[in-house]
Amino acid sequence: MNKFILAWVRDNRIHFFAWLCFFTYETILIGLMGGLFPSPLVGPLHFLVNAAFFYLHAGVILPIRFAGGPHYLLIPAIALELACYVIVHFGLDTALIGAGVIQLKREYVLDMNVIARNLYRGIYFLGFSTGYYFLITYLEQRKKTEQLEQEKLKAVIHNQHITQQLSDAQNAFLRAQINPHFLFNTLDFIYYNVNQHSPVAGEAIARLAEMMRFSIAAGAGDTVTAMEREIEQVENLIYLNQIRKISPPVIDFNYGPECRKLKLIPLVLLTLVENIFKHGYLGSTGLEIATIHVGIIDGRLHIRTRNAINEVNSRPGMGTGLKNVSNRLLFAYGKNVTYSYARLGTNFHVEVSVPISLL
């Protein structure tokens, strides 16, 4: 509670200082001009009443009127404020006289002199309060205007940044169209020259070119692709990795024929299989060391992979491709997709599940 009060006083210290200066000014002025200095209790109590009416007028009455309140109620509200102001001050003086704080030689009654004096003071403080309200309103409006201008400026900068990124992306796409064209022409030339002397090398070049065409087409904006196309690229990837070794690893890749016509976002299955060759342990032969299964179970497409973990040659960036797959699946299918990967013993398991109704 004390901390709250201290924080409130700290936040309103300018108001306290201004009222203290104003009270000191009026006390000294009245004392010098009239030779009358009020008691330490009378002056502060009357100033508390003045401050209360000041903030009531600036914080309640005027905001209601200028926030869309009825126009015709403003004058009656001010008249009621002034009447209350006169009555409260008269009641306060009556209470102080009754308590002996103020000494008067005559009876204190609510006559025209008392009404006029308090009415003048009420108009005086309500006038200051009105000026304070319009000043605060002006400062708030200027602050809001500055914030809107800053937001507009940020929006302009953001739009310029997006435009620049779009331009860069378009340029990069044009360059990407040129570079693959040259690459595929070169691969075709190598294939026709190598295939005559080494059919195995020629087949490897042809499959590599096919995989690259698929990957570039998928990256150029294909939203979905038939699973049979990606299954073909997985078979190409397995073939290319097996022909490189004298003792090729055993890869168990099986899929149901009903999966081939389903359409999924591209490079999901291919990325999972590539992750096996990149991070898995494929050094043994004669054993089933990696499995890739694609099938439909209970109305959902399931993709499962399992491979032994390469504890020795773990490469940097492991898990980046899997996280990218996760983000793409969530973006494409939202919460309908189930995606998980984990290490279980010496094996690494990945599972993807998507409702076939979305495919």
| 236 and 145 fall within a common domain | no
| 141 and 238 fall within a common domain | no
Residue 273 in domain: yes
Among left, alpha and beta (phi > 0; psi -120 to 50; other), residue 190 is alpha
Which of the listed residues 156, 182, 212 is the one where a domain comes to its end?
A: 156
Confidence at 36, pLDDT banded by 50, 70, 90: low
CA 305 – CA 321 distance, rounded (Å): 14
Q: Write the CA distances from 269 to 194, 256, 323, 329, 347, integer angstroms.
A: 30, 14, 14, 12, 18
| Number of folded domains that form the chain | 2
| 138 and 249 fall within a common domain | no
CA 322 – CA 273 distance, rounded (Å): 11
Q: Is the dihedral of CA 145, 147, 151, 156 positive or negative?
A: positive
Q: By C-alpha distance, which of 340, 242, 351, 231 is closest to 301?
A: 351
Q: What is the pLDDT of residue 37?
A: 55
Mind giving me the DSSP string for 218-243?
HHTT---EEHHHHHHHHHHHHHHHHH
Confidence at 126, pLDDT banded by 50, 70, 90: confident
| Better-scored residue on pLDDT, 278 or 178 | 278
Q: Write the CA distances from 270 to 62, 236, 241, 309, 345, integer angstroms.
A: 69, 10, 13, 19, 24
| Better-scored residue on pLDDT, 318 or 11 | 11
CA 185 – CA 90 distance, rounded (Å): 102
Which of the listed residues 131, 156, 181 is the one where a domain comes to its end?
A: 156
Rg over CA atoms, the chain: 42
| 259 and 341 fall within a common domain | yes
CA 338 – CA 300 distance, rounded (Å): 10
CA 50 – CA 122 distance, rounded (Å): 8
| 229 and 319 fall within a common domain | yes
Judging by DSSP bridges, how do beta strands 225-226 and 263-264 pair with one another? antiparallel
CA 92 – CA 98 distance, rounded (Å): 10
Q: Is the dihedral of CA 175, 272, 207, 203 positive or negative?
A: positive
Whether residue 304 has pLDDT greater than 90: yes
Separate counts of helices (H) and strands (E) for the chain:
10, 7
Tokens read off for 343: 């290490």
Instruction: Give the CATH number of the domain where residue 271 resides.
Output: 3.30.565.10
Which of the listed residues 136, 156, 176 is the one where a domain comes to its end?
A: 156
Judging by DSSP bridges, how do beta strands 225-226 and 250-255 pair with one another? unpaired
Q: What is the dihedral of CA 275, 281, 286, 290, to 10 degrees?
A: -30
| 8 and 151 fall within a common domain | yes
CB-based burial label for 291 (10 Å; 0-12, 13-18, 19+) = middle
Residue 220 in domain: yes
Q: Which residue type is seen at 31? A: G
Report the chain's mean pLDDT, rounded to a whole number.
Answer: 78
User: Average pLDDT, stretch 189-198?
Assistant: 68
Give the relative orientation of helices 320-333 and 269-279 as an angle to the nearest 10 degrees.
Answer: 170
Whether residue 131 has pLDDT greater than 80: yes
Q: What is the pLDDT of residue 9?
A: 66
Tokens read off for 79: 């008249």
Whether residue 171 has pLDDT greater than 60: no
Q: What is the pLDDT of residue 8?
A: 67
| 97 and 246 fall within a common domain | no
| 28 and 102 fall within a common domain | yes
Residue 86: CA count within 13 A, CB half-sphere: 18
| 243 and 100 fall within a common domain | no
The reply to whether the predicted model has a pTM over 0.85 is no
Q: What is the pLDDT of residue 305?
A: 92
Q: By C-alpha distance, which of 294, 283, 176, 191 is closest to 234?
A: 294
What range defines the domain where residue 149 resides? 2-156
Confidence at 38, pLDDT banded by 50, 70, 90: low
Q: What is the pLDDT of residue 181?
A: 57
| 255 and 303 fall within a common domain | yes
Q: Write the CA distances from 78 to 24, 60, 74, 111, integer angstroms.
A: 28, 12, 6, 21
Give the relative orientation of helices 74-98 and 42-56 as an angle to the nearest 10 degrees.
Answer: 160
| 199 and 152 fall within a common domain | no
- The secondary structure of residue 310, as a DSSP letter, is -
| 101 and 148 fall within a common domain | yes
Confidence at 293, pLDDT banded by 50, 70, 90: very high
